[in-house]
Amino acid sequence: MTTVVISHAVGNMDTWLKGGEERKALFSRYCSSYKILRQEGTNRVSIVCENVDLGKMEAAMGAPEIAKAKAAHTVIEPLEVYIEVAGGK
């Protein structure tokens, strides 16, 4: 299990924020918890996911309901994914 950061732009921050409950249900498939960070003055967010099962995350990212949620929440591609480096401290 590791920490993953996913960063991306959103088309409408209010719409994106309203998708919090759906995001919580989707993310629970592959991480134990997460927190949201917003780049000040922009419509860019980073999601810090803790205790990620990378195999489950990869499978979830390809699921049709994720694509549907991304469109509904106004997620703008590309998603930047940062994976914790073992021994990188």
How is the chain split into domains, by residue range? 2-83
Closest C-alpha to 44, from 6, 82, 18, 70: 6
Q: Where are the alpha helices (DSSP H) in the chain?
A: 13-18, 20-27, 54-61, 64-72
Are 46 and 39 within 8 A, CB to CB? yes
Please, which pLDDT band fits residue 87 given cuts at 50, 70 and 90? Answer: confident
Helix (H, G, I), strand (E, B) or coil at 74: coil
Q: Tell me the pLDDT tens digit for each residue of 10-61.
A: 999 999 999 999 999 999 999 999 999 999 999 999 999 999 999 999 999 9
CATH topology of domain 2-83: Alpha-Beta Plaits (3.30.70)
* pTM for the model: 0.92
β-partners of residue 82 are 5
In angstroms, the CA 69 to CA 66 distance is 5
